[in-house]
Amino acid sequence: MTVKKDNCSVRMDFEDNGVLALLIGEHNQNLAHLEQRLDVSLNSFGNSIKIKGKADAVKRTQSALEDMYRTINETGVSALEASLIDDVVRWAENGVDAPVAHRGGVALDTWKKKIVAKTKGQKAYVDLLQANEVVFGLGPAGTGKTYVAVAKAVESLKKREVERIILSRPAVEAGERLGFLPGDMKEKVDPYLRPLYDALYDMMPADKVDRMLTSGEIEIAPLAFMRGRTLSESYVIIDEAQNTTPVQMKMVLTRLGQNSRMVITGDLSQIDLPHGQPSGLADAVGLLENVAGVGIIHLSGDDVVRHPVVARILRAYEAGQTP
């Protein structure tokens, strides 16, 4: 591949026309996607692509095209999904070493696919999960704090590093509230744990998830019912932990038994506790910041991996502006 530069214009020449055709996409759809995301003009001719635009946008586009070309060449995919193109653009914008990350430098191995860190923050998050027994993942919606935690739990179960996964969240804060919902215990708490279920089914065959739920290898444990237990040989995920009280948080943290890991996720900007009630998540983060074996990460709008507009909305809120 050779590159010729002329002011804010770059011509990229590619050696393999077959790979280039996949990069461009049917009816130039991949190039159109890049044009929309990066605010550049792209034209393909022969074995070349010409990029025009502002210098910084041209540089990011060049990096994205190189990563896309390498991905096709090295993985043998028959088509590029829009989500992968968005990942490549995000890596280019954030300065992440995309080729290394995408080829498995920071990947979690689940039954259905490998989950790769898509931002610098997510890479740091995965590193903390590898190194610590207890990890607090804080950040706004869309940063992958729950999804990455589930991926790590599934990988640990697949490798038999743990015997079970335990999922919990304080959606139902007291036993009496469960009584207002129809069905058995699982049916009562399922609506609140839907994001965790969605992640599980994305990483595991549906029949395996169902079998493991039946056998207890995957357990749904309402937070109010955790008291008195010792959770050994387990990967425990406490989601939406900003809505725990300090008493609940202390209780759940002290459930951790031998050969277990715990991830506590939450968004401190979305606390739904009654006015004046302190958040157990905020309390714990302040108390445990320097405790050995405890990792804490604050993800931000730069780590949002949903639709690009979500990142822009979050940045506007963080800046105190109307999106």
Q: Residue 199: left (phi > 0), alpha (psi -120 to 50), or beta?
A: alpha
Reading the block at residue 274, the tokens are 């009654």
Q: Which structural domains are found in the chain, ordered by start?
A: 2-104 (3.30.1370.10), 107-318 (3.40.50.300)
Q: What is the pLDDT of residue 113?
A: 84
pLDDT category, 174, cuts 50, 70, 90?
A: very low
Q: What is the pLDDT of residue 33?
A: 86
First to last CA, the chain: 41
Q: Which amino acid is at 42?
A: L
Q: Provide the whole-model pTM.
A: 0.72
Pairing of strands 218-220, 164-168: parallel
Q: Residue 142: left (phi > 0), alpha (psi -120 to 50), or beta?
A: left
Q: Which of 69-73, 89-93, 110-114 has the highest mean pLDDT?
A: 110-114
pLDDT category, 98, cuts 50, 70, 90?
A: low
Q: What would the mean pLDDT of 8-32 be, rounded to a whole number?
A: 88
Measure Cα distances from 51 to 61, 82, 86, 167, 308 in Å.
8, 20, 18, 47, 22
124 pLDDT above the threshold of 60 = yes
Q: Give pairs for 122-126: CB < 8 Å, separation 24+.
A: 122/148, 122/299, 122/303, 122/305, 123/96, 124/297, 125/297, 125/299, 126/152
**What is the percent of the chain with per-residue pLDDT over 70, rounded to a whole number?**
80
